[in-house]
């Protein structure tokens, strides 16, 4: 039976998109100069390490030494996430709830069950992001994570999200297998009949990011007819890469308050997709009596 997919997926990067640099913020909470950590991480990257693995290996090493980053413990991370002070950009913490409400407030969209799902895909620390207000509002958060011992001390790297690893989760959303993305990592490669595959077609996706690590996702979403939104951040080279580099349909500032262009642009992008879903449904399933 033919169905019209009615789920819209909004996929966000986190650092410099929804928040300031969360990892740097965590380092500062631990009383450590993040500039020094990043310099050490840069040396590893120059030696061939993947960026997430570089900074995570430094966390493990310094945590084991029991001096620097001795406060980097699971219970602290979760506690800090509950009150992140000025970490989030304006309007971020209830952004997902407002966009959901905007869609269901339209009776024509509500009647045919159009919904909006929200996802965060990031190279930052997953345990922190999941405990924040915006993380709890998301349908899923995929980021870099550690294995912790009974004392909450990180003892191994469990997941690391690199540039192209991010695209894996786009296909999990596309196939509707995101609940099994971690427990059954190979499920995303399972062959499925084309008709049943597009649980969330790429045309129903909106990807929002700020820089180089987002470019593979931007390319995939754009190639298959989705919407790409770049974030205007202070790092000019990133703005060029995602905006003037023609990887984004348009760019917006890091301000998601109700009366700001950032929020209005996100809402407009969602509503345009919702209207296309409604129009497509009316065409495929015309009311009784014909067209």
CATH code of the domain containing 246: 3.40.50.1000
Tokens of 101: 């409400």
Q: Does residue 59 sit within a domain? A: no
DSSP summary character for residue 89: P
Q: Does the pLDDT of residue 289 top 70, yes or no? A: no
Q: Does residue 52 sit within a domain? A: no
Tokens of 100: 């959901």
Q: Does the pLDDT of residue 75 top 70, yes or no? A: yes
Task: Report yes or no: 159 and 185 within 8 Å, Cβ to Cβ.
Answer: no
Q: Does residue 50 sit within a domain? A: no
Q: Does residue 68 sit within a domain? A: no
Q: Does residue 111 sit within a domain? A: yes
Q: Does residue 185 sit within a domain? A: yes
Q: How many other CB atoms are found less than 10 A from the CB of residue 63?
A: 20
Beta-bridge partners for 159: 145
Residue 288: predicted pLDDT: 46
User: 42-46, 90-94, 226-230, 245-249 — which is least confidently predicted?
Assistant: 245-249
Alpha-carbon distance of 176 to 149, in angstroms, equals 32
Residues 136-171: tens digit of each pLDDT: 999 999 999 999 999 999 999 999 999 889 999 999
Number of structural domains in the chain: 1
Q: Does residue 47 sit within a domain? A: no
Q: Does residue 171 sit within a domain? A: yes
Instruction: Show the domain range for 95.
Output: 7-20+87-145+158-283
Residues 169-188: tens digit of each pLDDT: 999 999 888 878 788 777 88
- pLDDT confidence band for 211 (50 / 70 / 90): confident
């Amino acid at each position: 039976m033919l169905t019209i997919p009615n789920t819209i997926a909004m996929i966000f990067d986190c650092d410099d998109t929804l928040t300031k640099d969360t990892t740097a913020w965590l380092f500062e909470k631990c009383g450590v100069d993040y500039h020094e950590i990043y310099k050490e991480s840069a040396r590893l990257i120059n030696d061939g390490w993947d960026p997430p693995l570089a900074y995570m290996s430094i966390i493990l090493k310094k945590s084991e030494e029991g001096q620097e980053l001795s406060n980097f413990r699971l219970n602290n991370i979760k506690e800090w996430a509950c009150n992140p002070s000025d970490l989030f950009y304006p309007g971020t913490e209830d952004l997902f709830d407002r966009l959901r409400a905007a869609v269901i407030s339209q009776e024509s969209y509500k009647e045919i069950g159009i919904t909006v799902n929200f996802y965060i895909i990031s190279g930052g620390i997953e345990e922190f992001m999941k405990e924040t207000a915006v993380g709890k509002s998301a349908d899923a958060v995929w980021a870099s994570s550690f294995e912790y011992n009974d004392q909450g001390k990180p003892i191994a790297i469990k997941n690391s999200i690199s540039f192209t690893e991010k695209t894996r989760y786009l296909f999990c959303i596309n196939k509707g297998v995101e609940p099994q993305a971690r427990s059954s990592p190979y499920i995303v490669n399972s062959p499925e009949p084309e008709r049943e595959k597009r649980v969330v077609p790429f045309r129903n996706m909106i990807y929002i990011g700020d820089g180089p690590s987002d470019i593979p996702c931007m390319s995939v979403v754009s190639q298959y007819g989705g919407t790409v939104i770049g974030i205007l951040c202070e790092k000019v080279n990133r703005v060029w890469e995602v905006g003037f580099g023609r990887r984004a349909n348009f760019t917006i500032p890091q301000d998601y308050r109700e009366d700001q262009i950032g929020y209005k642009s996100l809402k407009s992008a969602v509503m345009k997709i919702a209207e296309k879903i409604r129009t497509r449904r009316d065409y495929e399933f015309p009311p009784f009596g014909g067209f």
